[in-house]
Chains A and B, each alone.
Chain A
Amino acid sequence: AKPKKERTFVIAAVEFHRVETPFLIGVWIFFASIAKIGFHMAPRLSKMFPESCLLIFVGVLIGAILLSTHSVHVQPLTPDTFFLYMLPPIILDAGYFMPNRLFFDHLGTILLFAVVGTVFNTLTIGTSLWACGQTGMFGCPTPLLDMLLFGALISAVDPVAVLAVFEEIHVDEVLYIVVFGESLLNDAVTVVLYHMFEAYTEMGASRLMYTDFLAGFASFLVVAVGGTCIGVVWGFGTGLVTRFTNEVRVIEPIFIFVMAYLAYLNAEMFHMSGILAITFCGITMKNYVEANISHKSHTTIKYTMKMLSSSSETIIFMFLGVATVNNNHDWNTWFVLLTIVFCSVYRIIGVYIFSAVANKFRLHKLNTVEKFVMSYGGLRGAVAFALVLLIDPEVVHLQPMFVTTTIAVIYFTVFIQGITIKPLVKILNVKTGEKRKPTMNERIHERFMDHLMAGVEDILGKHGNHHIRDKFKRFDNRFIRPFLLRNYQGAEPKILETYSKLAMKDAIEYMQRNASTI
């Protein structure tokens, strides 16, 4: 028996378990940010490698230390932390700063790649792996449905990885929006295919009926359209709320973040696509919110959003590295190799087929170099990893092998493709673009051209892009803006906005140059 300790008043005590969770989170964020500063202080390193590679590398190092010391047994990257806390800021940032015009101009191509392209990849990768499994080269039974489930999660291009790599290389805006738009919109397809094959696996292959496939197709429509609608409704809601915040300016940014997050959770609650919901929420709210809130709130929103998304991204890549180092790997050389080969080959084939289809309808034809960058930019990332962790090993016995393979594919795309894409873009002479604010002339003349083209389309009796945009703008100006905006300023808010921004910039420059005169 232990001797009874005398109770005395303790001056100081260590009580770690009480603060453990928040403390660990804090330490993770701290290390990730320190690592990020480190790369920017080593310019040669960050010129050669994309940041995402270096972050994964740091993650692996930390993971190795943790494993060897057996100190912390937490798995930091769980599907729930990923989908509920780390993904939304990145997607909101993407949706809110989405160049709307560009996005909707290329929506047809983006949808073709995101929907048909992803289904194509899933089916081809799944069946090819299954066919190879039939030869017995993997040394384990490979049921078709399990392979299709794996195909569904591995074939989705990842918005986080694509953003992280493409932000650094500044390719031409058309190329950027097509790859990036695809990665955002394919979520609906991925979610549906994933849940569908998961349910089929649980039901067992023998009891599948064709109605189940029809139900799968119907659920795709529900997930995609439902997610989008939820996002748009919350977006309008945000516009409406900010109409009344002029007396309480300090809470303006809160509404943008909370309501977008609620849109995401709202969609996830109904098993709809949260990514689509928050993307469209950002796209919708932007126009109305920016007109309502103060200039300072807008700056706050902009920087908070950038900070949240870049730290989430940093943490995700580091966690991917940490999660790699553990003892439950099930390495299957043939399976890993073939998955990587199939992923790359079918990506290239898919891009070539679908861009040939898209070119039939496009004004700006996708050329060979662009097709190449598109197929090369199909990076896989943390969404695939989080999805593979969600698979129940009791139902799908190959789950450990899937996890290892997914990690291998992510490493392949992020490291090999991520590192080589920068030099390749230079060698192939891909047009590079830069973001900038429009001048007064550009704003007015481009608007003028839009009206002109809408007019020409009407003369031709053709209902193209310009015609639809014109119709929407007219509807927006008559029925939506008057309700959502505090002071509604006529039909061309963008011209005024550009004017006041330029005037403000001039004033600031004048003040700086002639500081002594004031």
Chain B
Amino acid sequence: MGNKSSLMLREEEIAQIQDETGFTPNQIERLYSRFTALDKNDCGTLSREDFLRIPELAINPLSERIVHSFFAESHDDRVNFLQFMKVLAHFRPIRKNRENRLNSREEKLRFAFSMYDLDSDGKISRDELLAILHMMVGVNISEEQLTSIAERTILEADTNNDQMISFEEFCRALERTDVEQKMSIRFLN
């Protein structure tokens, strides 16, 4: 049974979230209603199953990684609303003349990088890249071909010859990409 009062956002919570993520109160309330809609057990937190119940997300090739990225900061296997919002804050569009906290270009890139870097050693190894390629490309491609693609990709980005892509190398490889644009979503007010 859900306790109704705990499902309402309190003023100071909104203020805290606003302060930490930069969302406007309206956006926070909108996202909160989405959050409670996803929260099928009414316990104020989301589990992995709650995410994977979304039909489109379940067939996304990267669904496992995307869901995983929401749990990066939580110590158990549930996400509370603040953690949920902190992850989403990475996708806020960058506005000029305004303070950008979690949504700077570097933060966006770091977020993407950490999704590759499963063991969080600060480097993308060949196997980590291959795992992602497997998810995206699917089964019709031979193993050797995928391996050579992964090797070629690492060779291209790797400047210090350690056969891995570090975060600096990752940023340099995406220098010409409009990351600000590609990793932003317009949140409704």
Contact = CB atoms under 8 A, between A and B. Distances in A.
Interface of A: 361-364, 436, 439-442, 444-462, 464, 467, 470-471, 474, 488-492, 495-496, 499, 502-503
- Chain A CB count within 10 A is highest, among B37, B61, B63, B173, for B61
20 contacts: A362-B186, A440-B153, A441-B173, A442-B174, A444-B136, A445-B112, A445-B174, A449-B182, A451-B62, A451-B66, A453-B182, A453-B183, A456-B88, A458-B60, A460-B31, A470-B56, A489-B140, A490-B140, A491-B136, A492-B136
Nearest to B153: A440
Contacts of A490: 137-141
B132 A458 contact: no
A363 B188 CA distance: 11
Interface in B54-97: 54, 56-57, 59-63, 66, 88, 91, 93
B156 A439 contact: yes
A449 B153 contact: no
B183 A452 contact: yes
Nearest to B93: A363
Contacts of B4: none
A464 B185 contact: yes
B177 A440 contact: no
Given A444-B149, A490-B139, 9 more contacts: A363-B186, A451-B61, A451-B62, A452-B66, A458-B60, A459-B54, A462-B188, A467-B56, A496-B141
A474 B129 CA distance: 23
Contacts of B57: 455, 458-459
Q: For this complex, into which size category does the number of interface residues on chain B fall? A: 35 or more
B132 A453 contact: no
Which 6 residue pairs across A and B have the least CB separation, nearest first?
Answer: A490-B140, A441-B173, A455-B66, A458-B56, A458-B57, A491-B138
A444 B153 contact: yes
Contacts of A471: 56
B54 A441 contact: no
B140 A488 contact: yes
Contacts, number: 132
A361 B93 CA distance: 12
Contacts of B174: 441-442, 445
A462 B112 contact: no
Contacts of A495: 133, 136-137, 149
A103 to B, nearest CB: 15
Interface string B112-148: 1001100000000000010011001111110001001
Residue in B54, B137, B187 whose Cβ sees the most chain A Cβ within 10 Å: B137
**Residue in B115, B132, B183, B185 with the greatest tally of chain A CB atoms within 10 Å:** B185
Contacts of A460: 31, 34, 88, 185, 187
Contact of B152 (A363, A449, A458, A502): A502
B176 interface: yes
A356 to B, nearest CB: 16
Nearest to A173: B178
Nearest to B95: A365
B156 A441 contact: yes
Contacts of B112: 445, 448-449, 452
A460 B23 CA distance: 14
Contacts of B184: 363
A281 B136 CA distance: 28
B157 interface: yes
A257 to B, nearest CB: 31
A459 B137 contact: no
Contacts of A455: 57, 60, 62-63, 66
A461 B93 CA distance: 18
A152 B80 CA distance: 58
Given A461-B37, A488-B140, A454 B185 contact: no
B51 interface: yes
B185 A440 contact: no
A499 B66 CA distance: 26
Contact of A462 (B51, B66, B145, B185): B185
A488 B140 CA distance: 8
A499 B149 contact: yes
A492 to B, nearest CB: 4
A467 B34 CA distance: 17
Nearest to B173: A441
Contacts of A444: 129, 132-133, 136, 149, 153
A492 B138 contact: yes
A496 B145 CA distance: 9
B177 A446 contact: yes
B28 to A, nearest CB: 13
Nearest to A502: B152
A491 B133 CA distance: 11
B16 interface: no
A491 B186 CA distance: 28
B152 A499 contact: yes
A471 to B, nearest CB: 8
Of B56, B152, B174, B187, most A-chain CB atoms within 10 Å? B56
Contacts of A456: 66, 88, 91, 185
A455 to B, nearest CB: 4
